[in-house]
Amino acid sequence: MTTRRALLAGGAALALAGRVRATPPAPLRAALDAAAALPHDPGAALSLLAGYDRNGLGPSAQLDLDTARAGLAIDLEIVRRFAVDPRAKGPPRTPAHATLLLRRKLGNDVDPRAAATRLEAERRCCAARADALFARLGIAGATTGARFSALWRDPRQAYASPDAALADMNRWLVELRARVPAVVGAVPRWCLNVAANPPTAADRAAAHFGYRTLPTPTQPGGYVPDLQRLADRPAFTLPSVVAHELLPGHMVQMPLEAAADPHPLRLDYAPGFAEGWAIYIERRVADAGVYAADPLAELGYLHWRLFRIGRALVDLAIHLHGLSLAEARARIVAWQGEPAYFAPFDADLARVAQEPMTRATEMLFALAIEDGARGRSGIALARYHHVLLDHGRMRSDELARRARRV
């Protein structure tokens, strides 16, 4: 089992950290624990945190306090206005309730109308790039989604075996590991000690696939992909999976966050940050030219991005404008053609309906990170990544404030 002691043992090697982390004071941690134990009384939970001065705290503790206060304030408003549990699943009562749920999970700075406009612009940009690549490859279709479906069925994209797919993923991992300093900046060497691994006999017996083991200063990490339905894993889709799940995606952000040890309330009120980082990294890898000579791999990246943009768009439309699941499905099919491996259309839309603003939050976190990175390169970009990674996740408004100060 990964322990906090083992993670902190590598603290001196954190090239991104640059300075010693301050341990959150015990009284604040105890107050946060007490606040978390009052999920149905956010007002009382807020009162427990009222006496703390953030200026006397270390960076991670500041994020814990600021995030908890911001989230609890929104919970209090939801309870007062709608008399519902802010953590409950199911459709929101009204569009105003849906907006509060979005702000609860993302940040106070989000405007749902502007977010939808931005997402649609991103979708059109991705579709235009994909269509240009399809034209270059001679792949026709009535919609972008239809073109993706045609490529999906190309037998040249089929792996002969799970071992062949795994070998391909590790080949891409070698390439992406070498790119980490240029794409992200310096990171601890132990974050790079990861691989795409085959399932164990116990995994196969339990049908346990698609999981990560985070690296530590003393233990390697890895990702066991689900390759049971190999026909649904065409080769062009896997390079971006490696960037997202391994390097420079989750295997950089998640281990460093584990070392920062954020309070569970911070995880609760910024839940999409980790996914947003990995989505952002997929784009950083593409923008760095990794796929410049491989249009098929770039199409794989674009399919994943269209998947995440599309589910964010329909999340907003379902919960703010009453879009039906049937219409949502039709839109997604036109946009991406084939479902993501782990998200069949109907099952994923059912989850979107029951978990309002979760998928929108993930993609909007990615866009918030992208906004902060815009115009930066070299040392300036590495410093920005340092701000995002060193002390764990934050809400979008805090992210924007810190980006302005870098």
Q: What is the pLDDT of residues 164-199, one digit of tens each?
A: 999 999 999 999 999 999 999 999 999 999 999 999
Q: Is the pLDDT of residue 359 over 70?
A: yes
| 43-62 confidence digits (pLDDT tens) | 999 999 999 999 989 999 99
For tokens 């923008």, the residue is 287
For tokens 């993706």, the residue is 148
Q: Is the pLDDT of residue 7 over 50?
A: no
Tokens of 131: 């269509």
Q: Is the pLDDT of residue 17 over 60?
A: no
pLDDT band at 22 (very low <50, low <70, confident <90, very high): very low
Say how far apart CA 174 and CA 212 lie, in whole Å. 18
Preceding amide of 248 cis, omega within 30: yes
**Average model confidence (pLDDT) across the chain:** 94
| 297-309 confidence digits (pLDDT tens) | 999 999 999 999 9
Query: Is the pTM here over 0.85, yes or no?
Result: yes
pLDDT band at 24 (very low <50, low <70, confident <90, very high): very low
**222 within 8 A of 213, measured Cβ to Cβ:** yes
Closest CA to 303 of 270, 272, 264, 332: 332
